[in-house]
Amino acid sequence: MRTIKPYIVIGVALLLLALEIAAVQLRSGGVAGRGVGSPVGASEVSLTPSPAPPVQGTVSPPRGYMPPWKSDTDLTTMRPTGVPAIKPTIPGAGPTTPAFTVADVTAYHTTYHTVADISGYYGVGDYASSVLPRIVKVEFLTEKALRARIPDSTGLPDDTLLCYVQYSGSFVLVPPPGVQRPVSIWPYAIEVFDAHTGNRMIAGLAPTLR
């Protein structure tokens, strides 16, 4: 049998190692330059980023895109979408009929609002409650009708069909530091959903049944 030259074997081994290293780098998300705040392309980022280990630092990240100054009179706005909450169950619902039912609202409530955390608190829409929240009102109404009920709007057109839900409980409002306002307890929490997407548009606290 013919003898194989040692340098050929070494070359092949090194080539295989280089390929392995490249594969490891690809699996780990890249090479140096993706440290704290390094800008990446838009196509490389998802809405649900993978839980990479936190990198704590004492430096400010690179700026990346800086938005140009926007005048107070520039009222450009895009349609708000809210965040996913209730899953629609009625396909093909028209503009004046909801894509989910009161039973779907109740199921959402049971799943997300009736389990206490390790501190013993329940929660609706980010507001902790020391007692079990209960649904006291579910109403499908338009954006225009909603504005007559609460101070702010969803930002959607007047004829948009929404779902207004009010909960009883003992909800806590904690003001940020510096605000001359004590921690307060509220008897009601509200959530407003887009009646077609099921997305939550508003969460809040209320003093009375509305």
Q: Which of residues 75-134 bind other proteins (CB under 8 A)?
A: 75-78, 80-85, 111-119, 121-128, 130
- Binding part of the chain for other proteins, among 5-13, 94-102, 135-143, 157-165 by CB under 8 A, reads 5-13
Closest contact distance (angstroms) between CB of 101 and other proteins is 19
Kindly report the number of other CB atoms within 10 A of residue 206's CB atom: 16
Q: Which is nearer to other proteins, 32 or 92 (CB)?
A: 32
Going from the C-alpha of 192 to that of each of 7, 42, 124, 172, the distances in angstroms are 72, 31, 12, 19
Q: Is 52 in the site for other proteins (CB under 8 A)?
A: yes
* Size, binding site for other proteins by CB under 8 A: 108
Alpha helices by DSSP H, listed for 114-160, are: 143-147
- Cβ atoms of 164 and 86 within 8 Å: the answer is no
Going by their DSSP bridges, the two strands 161-173 and 184-194 should be labelled as: antiparallel
Closest contact distance (angstroms) between CB of 195 and other proteins is 16
CA distance 140 to 49: 35
Closest contact distance (angstroms) between CB of 68 and other proteins is 8
- Binding part of the chain for other proteins, among 22-30, 90-98, 99-107, 159-167 by CB under 8 A, reads 22-30
Q: Which is nearer to other proteins, 13 or 94 (CB)?
A: 13
Exactly one of 140, 150, 161, 167 binds other proteins (CB under 8 A); that residue is 150
Restricting to residues 170-199, name those near other proteins by CB under 8 A.
Answer: 172-181, 183, 186, 190, 199
Q: Which is nearer to other proteins, 81 or 96 (CB)?
A: 81
Q: Is 148 in the site for other proteins (CB under 8 A)?
A: no
CA distance 142 to 163: 8
- Cβ atoms of 208 and 188 within 8 Å: the answer is yes
- Written as six digits, the tokens of 71 are 């005048």
- Cβ atoms of 195 and 99 within 8 Å: the answer is yes
- Binding part of the chain for other proteins, among 99-107, 135-143, 149-157, 160-168 by CB under 8 A, reads 149-157
Closest contact distance (angstroms) between CB of 36 and other proteins is 5
What would the x/- binding string for other proteins be over residues 57 to 76, using CB under 8 A?
A: xxxxx-xxxxx-xxxxxxxx
Q: At CA 170, angle to CA 164 and CA 175, rounded to 5?
A: 90
CA distance 111 to 115: 8
